[in-house]
């Protein structure tokens, strides 16, 4: 993609406004906290301290809107305390230019590395640096700096207290994540009725799993309906796929296929009912036709073998979902849930909800974050490159602001720090959006000031209204949010006594300078995703192969029951798949040519690996019980799969095409052993093994479209050159 086209697409993306669900009660709570902090600051210390404390309350509320499964009060407190600390340290170092530059570079470098802990940590850290550049200009002594830092922290405390005192939909994010996962399963079941080999996007299940991680304190307070349902939903997905896939025994047309479609439709209706109940905290209302479909004896008359086992297991899992979605409830509601589960005709095996996954507390999270940051300190890390860019741009922007004939030179580095992200498209889109939003917001605020000539109190009121609009509309688009922020800053600094007419020109010019610095920094020192596509593809191939090998291993030794290995491999392949998809989406917007992997090859190999994972999932749906007859030939096949995909991953990174001779030979030996024993093995695992090999060969055929490819005997043994 050319630079001109990339700039056009990113600019359009940054200025896009989306229709999103608004959260007025949360926005009102954040604005109320801001108003309270400004009011206290004005009454006790005057407009300058009030303006400083307002930044703390404003940023603390924004932090609570970030995607995080931690309690919102914790995010507000972390934001307020860290911003207060940054302000005090920055002011103490401010009078000495060299010392302040060293502090600024160190602070921004650490803020860039904070992205290793996730987007929420990165955004909070970057915001602290940006607002620190503003707030250190307000105090006039160390004592006043301490007062400003205390009031900024007070703003975070107020926002945290309001979240505790005025809760809005407790556990709402976790409810939505679990309900979205069940709704995604329902949609998958409906699509399987028309496309028996439809693919499933695992992202909703991954988000639900992340949301289910809680601290011990949260585990004691978590609603009962948030226990267990996610784990059951995870087990439903392969059962749905196995029931629908013709390779598992049900013909493409006929009465058996019609029966499968009815079962899938009923499962979708019940999953939707459970999702609605969990999302709203209401009792489960089961659709009677769906229950009737699942309890009818016709299923046993029409289906046999693996499809019948899948239908029975589906009924059992759906009964678990309904029972878990009902939660504790009243005695009558619990009785209704048990009757509903019994109505599905599923056995009650007395399973209890899985124990909660442990999330580290805030103090124990610190060493985890530090280890994540330390892992990024290596050549080629996009997070390290982002940290270097951020520190360099903040220092250069601050020096430029001092040289330019304006009184608010800190706006240039502040704008740059706020728009910069580890990837190209987000940085450029946010730069354009911030400039456009700033122009609109500043000129709207100027028009209001010219018409109303507000004093201190009215300026404070206008600032609170702008903050309210920001909280309400921030998810609709970055440009919209920045228009509200620009107006908010004009009113807030006007409240502190700044000349609004001077603020207009400074704000626009310095925001443009900051945005240009951010864009130039990425062009000079980029972290392109395109050259790393082969690494991402190799990682996905390796994890897919490990997942398939773990499943096949279970057929070789059912008594081992090492389902934890299968589970861990499944989670790893999901993460690798999402990393690949995100990399491809990012690379498509980069002004870099594809090196060694064409668009067609990327699409073909992605389809082949998705099929490989899907076949392993089908086999997982029929994993044998502990007392089942072992399939000894499955063990060599599992070893061959694991070894061949590891070597194949190396070949992909070295721009060679993997070879699957070892897998073919393992299957040939399996067939010879079966002929010698004059008996057939488990049809699920043997048919699945053929499908696994077919998917691997499709993968190699897809790579043949890539330039400079060569056949790699045995998958290659050379080391990873970094792609």
- Better pLDDT: 287 or 677: 287
Express each pLDDT in 567-619 by its tens digit: 889 989 999 999 999 898 888 888 887 666 788 888 899 999 999 999 999 88
CA–CA dist 641, 693 (Å, integer): 9
Express each pLDDT in 211-241 by its tens digit: 888 777 777 778 877 776 778 888 899 999 9
CA–CA dist 257, 381 (Å, integer): 50
**């290596």: which residue's tokens?**
378
pTM over 0.85: no
CB contact at 8 A, 651 and 704: no
- Kindly give the residue spans of alpha helices, DSSP state H, lying in 166-245: 172-194, 203-211, 216-221, 229-244
Residue 603 neighbours by CB under 8 Å, 6+ apart: 702
Burial class (CB in 10 A: 0-12, 13-18, 19+), 363: exposed
Residue 566 binned pLDDT confidence (cut-offs 50, 70, 90) = confident
Express each pLDDT in 85-127 by its tens digit: 998 998 888 888 899 999 999 999 999 999 998 888 888 899 8
Express each pLDDT in 77-86 by its tens digit: 999 999 999 9
Token reading at 124: 């909070």
Express each pLDDT in 477-492 by its tens digit: 999 999 999 899 888 8
pLDDT at position 355, please?
Answer: 43
The answer, yes or no, to whether residue 158 has pLDDT greater than 90, is yes
Q: What is the mean pLDDT of residues 670-684?
A: 71
Residue 184 neighbours by CB under 8 Å, 6+ apart: 200, 201, 204, 205
CA–CA dist 114, 496 (Å, integer): 32
The answer, yes or no, to whether residue 356 has pLDDT greater than 70, is no
Residue 156 binned pLDDT confidence (cut-offs 50, 70, 90) = very high
Residue 713 binned pLDDT confidence (cut-offs 50, 70, 90) = very low
Nearest to 58 by CA among 368, 386, 495, 669: 495
Express each pLDDT in 366-403 by its tens digit: 888 889 899 999 888 899 999 999 999 999 999 998 88
pLDDT at position 330, please?
Answer: 42
Q: Provide the greatest CA pair distance for the chain.
A: 96
CA–CA dist 425, 252 (Å, integer): 44
CB contact at 8 A, 512 and 49: no
Express each pLDDT in 457-514 by its tens digit: 999 999 999 999 999 998 899 999 999 998 998 888 888 776 655 567 777 888 899 9
CA–CA dist 366, 361 (Å, integer): 9
CA–CA dist 244, 222 (Å, integer): 35
- Better pLDDT: 575 or 346: 575
């Amino acid at each position: 993609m050319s630079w001109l086209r990339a700039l056009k697409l990113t600019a359009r993306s940054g200025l896009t406004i989306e229709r999103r669900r608004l959260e007025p009660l949360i926005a009102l709570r954040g604005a109320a906290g801001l108003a309270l902090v400004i009011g206290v600051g004005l009454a006790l210390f005057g407009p300058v301290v009030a303006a400083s404390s307002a930044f703390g309350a404003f940023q603390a509320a924004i932090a609570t809107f970030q995607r995080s499964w931690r309690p919102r009060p914790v995010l507000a407190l972390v934001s307020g305390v860290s911003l207060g600390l940054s302000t005090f340290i920055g002011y103490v170092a401010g009078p000495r230019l060299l010392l302040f530059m060293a502090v600024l570079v160190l602070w921004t470098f650490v803020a860039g590395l904070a992205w290793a802990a996730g987007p929420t940590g990165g955004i909070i850290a970057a915001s602290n640096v940006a607002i620190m550049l503003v707030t250190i200009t307000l105090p006039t002594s160390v004592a006043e700096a301490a007062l400003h830092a205390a009031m900024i922290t007070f703003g975070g405390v107020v926002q945290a207290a309001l979240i505790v005192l005025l809760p809005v939909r407790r556990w709402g994010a976790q409810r939505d994540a679990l309900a979205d996962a069940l709704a995604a399963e329902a949609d998958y079941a409906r699509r399987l009725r028309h496309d028996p080999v439809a693919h499933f996007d695992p992202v909703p299940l991954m988000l639900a799993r992340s949301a289910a991680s809680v601290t011990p304190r949260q585990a004691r307070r978590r609603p009962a309906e948030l226990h267990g349902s996610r784990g059951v939903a995870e087990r439903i997905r392969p059962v749905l796929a196995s029931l629908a896939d013709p390779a598992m025994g049900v013909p493409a047309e006929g009465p058996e296929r019609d029966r499968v479609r009815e079962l899938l439709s009923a499962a979708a209706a019940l999953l939707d009912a459970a999702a609605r109940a969990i999302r709203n905290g209401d009792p489960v209302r089961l659709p009677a036709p769906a229950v009737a479909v699942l309890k009818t004896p016709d299923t046993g008359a029409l289906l046999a073998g693996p499809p019948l086992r899948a239908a029975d297991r589906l009924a059992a899992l759906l009964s678990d979902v309904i029972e878990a979605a009902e939660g504790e409830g009243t005695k009558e509601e619990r009785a209704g849930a048990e009757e509903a589960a019994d109505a599905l005709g599923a056995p009650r095996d007395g399973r209890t909800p899985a124990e909660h996954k442990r999330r580290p507390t805030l103090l124990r999270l610190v060493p985890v974050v530090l280890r994540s940051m330390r892992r990024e300190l290596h050549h080629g890390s996009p997070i390290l490159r982002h940290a270097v860019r951020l520190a360099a741009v903040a220092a250069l922007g601050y020096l430029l602001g001092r040289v330019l004939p304006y009184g608010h030179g800190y706006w240039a580095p502040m704008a740059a720090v706020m728009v910069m992200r580890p990837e190209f498209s987000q940085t450029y889109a946010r730069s354009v959006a911030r400039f456009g939003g700033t122009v609109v917001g500043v000129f709207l605020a100027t028009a209001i000031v010219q018409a109303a000539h507000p004093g201190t109190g009215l300026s404070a009121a206008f600032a609170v209204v702008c903050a309210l609009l920001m909280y309400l509309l921030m998810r609709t688009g970055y440009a919209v949010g920045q228009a509200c922020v620009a107006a908010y800053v004009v009113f807030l600094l006007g409240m502190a006594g700044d000349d609004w007419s001077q603020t207009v020109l400074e704000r626009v010019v310095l925001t443009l300078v900051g945005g240009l610095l951010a864009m130039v920094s990425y062009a000079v020192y980029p972290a392109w995703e395109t050259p790393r596509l082969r690494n991402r593809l190799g990682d996905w191939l390796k994890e897919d192969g490990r997942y398939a090998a773990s499943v096949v291993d279970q057929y070789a030794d059912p008594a081992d029951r090492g389902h934890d290995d299968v589970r861990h491999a499944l989670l790893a392949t999901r993460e690798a798949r999402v990393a690949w998809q995100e990399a491809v989406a990012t690379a498509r917007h980069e002004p870099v040519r594809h090196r060694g992997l064409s668009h067609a090859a990327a699409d073909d190999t992605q389809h082949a690996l998705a099929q490989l994972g899907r076949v392993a999932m089908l086999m997982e749906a029929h994993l044998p019980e502990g007392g089942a007859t072992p399939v000894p030939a499955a063990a060599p096949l599992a070893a061959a799969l694991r070894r061949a995909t590891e070597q194949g991953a190396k070949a992909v990174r070295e721009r060679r095409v993997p070879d699957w001779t070892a897998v073919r030979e393992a299957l040939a030996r399996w067939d010879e052993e079966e002929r010698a024993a004059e008996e057939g093995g488990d049809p699920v695992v043997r048919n699945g093994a053929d499908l696994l090999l077919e998917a691997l060969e499709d993968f190699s055929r897809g790579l043949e479209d890539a330039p400079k490819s060569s056949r790699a005997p045995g998958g290659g043994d050379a080391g990873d050159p970094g792609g």
